């Protein structure tokens, strides 16, 4: 079975998630493609997993454009969709807003793989926004002088495993 993992990434977290997903599918023929470098044809694969990071509530442009361009093809094949984001509590809302209903309904899986607010890979504007997001996440529910009540988001390996299991189950 040929599996395509098509993704975009701005600061590397989605790329890390897709490497973890590919690892879990190691017995299959898996091709991971960064959509900034290559635009594969979904019709050449038995399963297509597509995802990317959320930025200002929207799926990263490269992933959103790829989904839009191939919507018809994706409706008639095995597919799954994933997002990576900093506000994991809003994941369901992001999935609903960014993955067209007709694709979600036919999908083997729709998931959030967690996310990171990692200043290390960021510069300029992205760094500024990420700093603000870190403050929002760690200050949430906290009164003045209290220690942070929330920790920073992380990649969720169990969500990636469940997604891999759904891909495998779609071939049975």
Ligand X SMILES: Cc1cc2nc3c(=O)[nH]c(=O)nc-3n(C[C@H](O)[C@H](O)[C@H](O)COP(=O)(O)O)c2cc1C
Which residues of the chain form contacts with ligand X (CB under 6 A)? 9-14, 53-57, 84-87, 90, 115-117, 126, 129-130
Cα of 65 vs its chain's centroid, Å: 15
Distance of closest approach, residue 90 Cβ to ligand X, in angstroms: 6
Give the span between the Cα atoms of 89 and 107, in whole angstroms.
22
Distance of closest approach, residue 135 Cβ to ligand X, in angstroms: 13
**SS3 at position 30:** strand
CB nearer to ligand X: pick between 16 and 168: 16
Encoding tokens for residue 165?
Answer: 């299991």
Distance of closest approach, residue 161 Cβ to ligand X, in angstroms: 19
Distance of closest approach, residue 88 Cβ to ligand X, in angstroms: 7
Matching residue, tokens 């890390």? 16
Encoding tokens for residue 103?
Answer: 């694709």
CB nearer to ligand X: pick between 55 and 168: 55
CB nearer to ligand X: pick between 1 and 155: 155
Pairing of strands 47-55, 78-84: parallel
């Amino acid at each position: 079975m040929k599996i395509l993992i098509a993704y975009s990434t701005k600061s590397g977290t989605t790329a890390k998630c897709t490497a973890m997903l590919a690892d879990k599918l190691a017995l299959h023929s898996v091709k991971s493609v960064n959509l900034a470098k290559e635009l594969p044809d979904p019709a050449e694969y038995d399963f297509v997993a597509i995802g990317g990071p959320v930025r200002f509530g929207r799926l990263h442009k490269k992933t959103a454009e790829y989904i839009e361009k191939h919507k018809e093809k994706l409706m008639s094949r095995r597919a799954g969709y994933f997002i990576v984001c900093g506000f994991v509590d809003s994941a369901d809302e992001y999935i609903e807003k960014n993955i067209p209903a007709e694709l979600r309904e036919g999908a083997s899986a729709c998931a959030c793989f967690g996310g990171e607010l990692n200043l290390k890979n960021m510069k300029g504007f992205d760094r500024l926004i990420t700093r603000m997001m870190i403050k929002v996440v760690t200050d949430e529910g906290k009164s003045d002088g209290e220690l942070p009540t929330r920790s920073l988001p992380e990649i969720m390996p169990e969500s990636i495993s469940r997604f891999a299991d759904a891909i495998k189950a779609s071939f049975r």
